Structure formats: structure tokens, C-alpha cells
Amino acid sequence: MTIVVGDKLPTATLVKATADGPDQVSSNDFFAGRTVAVFAVPGAYTPTCSAKHLPGFVGKIDELKAKGVDEVACTSVNDAFVMAAWAKANEAEGVTMLADGNAEFARALGLDVDSSRFGMGTRSSRYAMLVEDGVVRQLFIEEPGEFKVSSAEHLLSAM
């Protein structure tokens, strides 16, 4: 079942890409007690993700924080090393990269997709959500192949 607004996020282990290397973090701990704007991409280094999705959130961090967001995070079904390299290549300072290498978080949200026909295996749907103390307050899930409602601009306009 797909998560909906008002639901508490499921428990999953994510791997936070840090300067000191990978750091496992529970979704419960990461989202507890604060407001997080989180967006998911099908894959690091993929065209729309690199040209639009990540740069959009990087460019809007200050506006998101001005509206009460404590942290901006990106998740993808990639490993922490890929997420860290992608962040560096895109000068994404200020965005916390959360690797979901085994798609555990995407599956628990009901937002996993089978991209095997593209040689990509299981991936996450493209989405953006606003989470307050572990509860989904806003959720925008893209239709396959689209990039409209999961943008930083769209999330800001809904806040």
C-alpha cells in the first residue's frame, strides 16, 4: 500500500553519505522531531535527476528553510558512495544524501518501481514530500516519466 498524507513514515534503514563515509540511520531517527523536505529520484546521475530535480532543491534550500524546513534530503536506490559523488559533482551542499541501496525505504513507502526493462532493477518513484516529526504532511508523486509535482518549486507553492 502506498503511503498517504497523514501516515507515519515506515521504519527502514537508510545510509547517510557523510564526509567520513557511510553512516547507517533509521528513518525513525532521521525524521524525528523536525521538519524535513525529502525528495526521491530514480537514480543518481540520470538526466532529469541531475539537470532538474537535485539542482532545483539546491537552489531553493534557503526558501524551504524560511518556511520552516529544518533539513532537505534526497533519497535514491543507489549506494552511499554514488550519492556522495553525485552530490559533489552537482555542488549539492546543504542536501543530505540518503542512500536506499536495497530499496528498503522505497518498498516500505509503496513507492518502488520495477525499472528492469531499462536495466535499472528496482528503483524509487520520483516524489517530494514534507515530513513533520515522522508524519507525512505533503506528498507529491510523479507519474512515470514526468517531472512536475515533485519539484522544489511545487513543494514550496504547496507549503
Residue positions annotated with a catalytic role = 49
Terminal Cα-to-Cα distance of the chain (whole angstroms): 25
Residue type, 82: V
Residue type, 128: A
d(CA 141, CA 138): 10
